[in-house]
Structure 1
Amino acid sequence: MKTKRHGAVAGLIAAGALLLTACGSDNNAPAGGSTTSGNASGVAVECGGKSKLNAEGSSAQKNAIDTFVQAYQQKCAGSDLAYNASGSGAGVKNFLAGQVDFGGSDSPLSESKGEVAKAAERCKGNPAWNLPLVFGPVAIGYKLDGVTDLTLTGEVAAKIFNGTVKKWNDPAIKALNGSATLPDKDIKVVYRSDESGTTDNFQLYLKAASKGAWTQGEGKTFKGGVGEGKEKSAGVAQAVGSIDGAVTYVELSFAQENKLSIAKIDTGSGAVALNDESVGKAIDGATIKGTGNDLVLDLNSIYGTTTAGAYPLLLATYEIVCSAGYDADTAKAVKAFLTVAATDGQAGLKEAGYAPLPKAFQDKLLTAIKAIA
């Protein structure tokens, strides 16, 4: 997910759209006031409570949060949220310490690290919920002169990124691409040299989808043992854009900005292009392994999907909130912000490189948000 350049633009786009939908609204409460209004999804928003929320965490969702804030300010006059994109670790740490109203994280709270218990203590004896609010598609982006339509499977992708498949005309790639003319050219892997949630999710995808071809492990450090490392998403995308025969994994917006070709992925039901519809199908098919309104995802249900038309390579980020235990003003504002984010706030996400929520998943989130006490 793009974290630097599209935030302001996406925010303006979202704000412009929201201005149109808000015409005639009676939502003109002063700061700290309370009003109820509908939104584009027909869901009531109970504005009011704490006038300025504080949140911190994942940089991967920063531009999405910026878009949500624009929508929140428009929907609930006088309300605001400050988000510090300090990284998932800091977001969880400061949420547990009660320093922020909610945390943003690329992964849910860890029971083995004691985070679940500490969150219950922070929430005055109530459990914290992990709400997956922001999804960003990850592209397998490449530059190969004369080839702009390419299909890969999880297995072949794993073999490319661990160096088993070394040439673009390797029989394993040719078998997936019919009559396409593939050059006898070296594959040049470019990977993230810095620790990255994108790397972690990509390696989890390879582990789940490669039929055992990926044995290198997982984590935020690339473990494929092949290629050249570059820092940040911008670095890998720019490098691939300047090298014929190069390939990387990168958030969609960076691939688009650098004019990279994007591989289709065949999960067993035919080649699937990366688009809103295919990403939505993958999100819709996600299994929740958390209980009740704790919406922790089973990522294998996304990464290992065989659903026709579903694009499986996504990064999900969570908002970590108290299910109860806030003071009344904070609870009201948290619920208002999250409700706007899950509804009107979706309008500007595509321009910022994220995936808008499909209706069925949106409903699950709204049910959980409404239950915050």
Structure 2
Amino acid sequence: MNVRKNKLVSLAALGLTAGLTLAACGGSSDNGSGDGAGSDNGGAAAAGGYAELTGNLAGSGASSTQNAQTAWTETFMGLVGAEGGDLTVTYDPTGSGTGREQFLNGEVKFAGSDAALGEEELEASTEVCNGEQAVDLPLYISPIAVVFNIEGVDSLNLTPEVIGGIFAGDITNWNDPAIAESNPDAELPDLDIVPVHRSDDSGTTENFTEYLSETAPDAWTHGPIETWPIPGGQSGDGTSGLISTVEGGNGTIGYADASQAGNLGVAAIQVGEEFVEYSADAAAKAVDVSPRAEGRAENDIVFELDRTTTEEGVYPIVLVSYLVVCGSYSDAAEGEAVKSYASYITSQEGQQLSAEMAGSAPLTQELSDEVQGVIEGISVG
């Protein structure tokens, strides 16, 4: 993990340097019209640049996006500072459920969540959103890796039924015939399986159990849930806590955003007749074949992920992490800060930085343009 952390720091520094260079070369222009800058520089030109951004902007939520949010906040603050602004942006990886709760309580001005706001949450959001509902903006697409730590085993093929059986507690040994059938060349040990789950309210858990519910309903009967439903077992708080728990044992298996898999083994997942390894491209394909969720407002962009697809090259254990923001902010300075930050994340630069830092799949140009349109429609003041 130290190697990966060093890479994280190096990439963040590179991203910050690139952002400062960009701002120094062209971001200080006084004209507020340049159409190209809106795309490349997070929409700053359309809002008059970053020079007027001041104060503190706090967000919290999904720990899956921790690496990406670290890069985004540091680089964005560098851009703001280069233009003469003085805005501090922070993101606390508390978990999706806590992030949404803090947002609805007015404790933070934006949230990250691997699960979109529910109907009751949308209704409650009008209390903190100047009478309008909040919106969900898809800004991070990433595979959920099934990570394992088994001494002597470097690769593993797992079917949905086996994964469901393991996490339900019904498959308990690594040499179980159901596992051996898909791994004829592996030397599976006579070793207890130790499933590890998230201890906090987690959108990653909800996405993972939604996948199990739809692909292996006989093995996983607990439905899609955000809070782990089975008492006991080993767990970790947040993505980093789960990874540490898996790393600390032998025979352990867990699920986490792929950006934080580190040096752990990662299973290939059966999709149709093949076993598919995770990748950003395979995760992006899963979103491409998925429809939009029905019954949402036009500016609330939420996907109904197709977990049961058998299309070639698709990795269906995927999460779409949403940036949850208000549709209206009564404080103009606060609203402009949120809009500028959200626009930067959506920009080509922001999406590329996330891809480099966290291995996420950049938004398509079409989806990016749609999200930018929603951001521009947020009212302030």
Residues 269 and 309 in structure 1, CA contact (< 8 A), matched pair in contact too: no
- The number of equivalent residue pairs is 360
- Calculate the TM-score normalised by the size of structure 1: 0.81
Q: Are residues 1:101 and 2:101 paired?
A: no
Could you tell me how far apart the structure 1 residues matched to 2:86 and 2:208 are? 37
Tell me how large the CA RMSD over aligned residues is.
Answer: 3.3
Q: What is the CA distance between 1:59 and its match in structure 2?
A: 4.7
Other-structure match for 2:193: 188
Counterpart code for 2:264: L
Residues 174 and 193 in structure 2, CA contact (< 8 A), matched pair in contact too: no
Other-structure match for 2:376: 370
Q: What is the CA distance between 1:157 and its match in structure 2?
A: 0.7
Q: What is the CA distance between 1:58 and its match in structure 2?
A: 0.3
Q: Are residues 1:134 and 2:140 paired?
A: yes
The CA deviation string for residues 101-138 of structure 1, in whole angstroms up to 9 with x for no partner, is: 333334333323xx322323433333321112234432
Could you tell me how far apart the structure 1 residues matched to 2:242 and 2:108 are? 33
Residues 222 and 229 in structure 2, CA contact (< 8 A), matched pair in contact too: yes
Counterpart code for 1:27: S
Q: Between 38-47 and 211-220, report the one with greater CA deviation.
A: 38-47
1:265 to 258, 263, 269: 269
SS class of match (1:80): strand
Q: What is the CA distance between 1:341 and its match in structure 2?
A: 0.8
**Which runs of 5 or more structure 2 residues have no equivalent in the other structure?**
none
Could you tell me how far apart the structure 2 residues matched to 1:211 and 1:139 are? 20
Stretches of 4+ aligned residues off by more than 6 angstroms: none
Q: What is the CA distance between 1:88 and its match in structure 2?
A: 4.2
Q: What is the CA distance between 1:328 and its match in structure 2?
A: 4.4
Other-structure match for 1:205: 211
SS class of match (2:341): helix
Q: Does the C-alpha gap of structure 1 residues 82 and 247 become closer, same or farther in structure 2, counting only changes over 3 Å?
A: same
- Calculate the TM-score normalised by the size of structure 2: 0.80
2:281 to 274, 277, 281: 277
Could you tell me how far apart the structure 2 residues matched to 1:232 and 1:99 are? 20
Residues 97 and 201 in structure 2, CA contact (< 8 A), matched pair in contact too: no
The CA deviation string for residues 343-366 of structure 1, in whole angstroms up to 9 with x for no partner, is: 212233245435132314333322
Other-structure match for 1:174: 180
The CA deviation string for residues 41-100 of structure 1, in whole angstroms up to 9 with x for no partner, is: 587433345423523220513442232223323444225342251554554445445554
SS class of match (1:303): coil
SS class of match (1:280): helix
Could you tell me how far apart the structure 2 residues matched to 1:192 and 1:181 are? 25
Q: Does the C-alpha gap of structure 1 residues 356 and 247 become closer, same or farther in structure 2, counting only changes over 3 Å?
A: same
Which has the larger share of helix?
Answer: 2
Other-structure match for 1:323: 327
Q: Are residues 1:313 and 2:341 paired?
A: no
1:332 to 333, 336, 344: 336
Counterpart code for 2:117: L
Q: Are residues 1:12 and 2:26 paired?
A: no
- % identity of equivalent residues: 27
Q: Are residues 1:122 and 2:123 paired?
A: no
Matches within 5 A, 1:15-94: 15-19=16-20, 24-27=25-28, 38=37, 41=40, 44-45=43-44, 46=46, 47-48=49-50, 49-60=52-63, 61-76=65-80, 77=83, 78=85, 80-85=87-92, 86-89=94-97, 91-94=99-102
Counterpart code for 1:111: E
SS class of match (2:328): coil
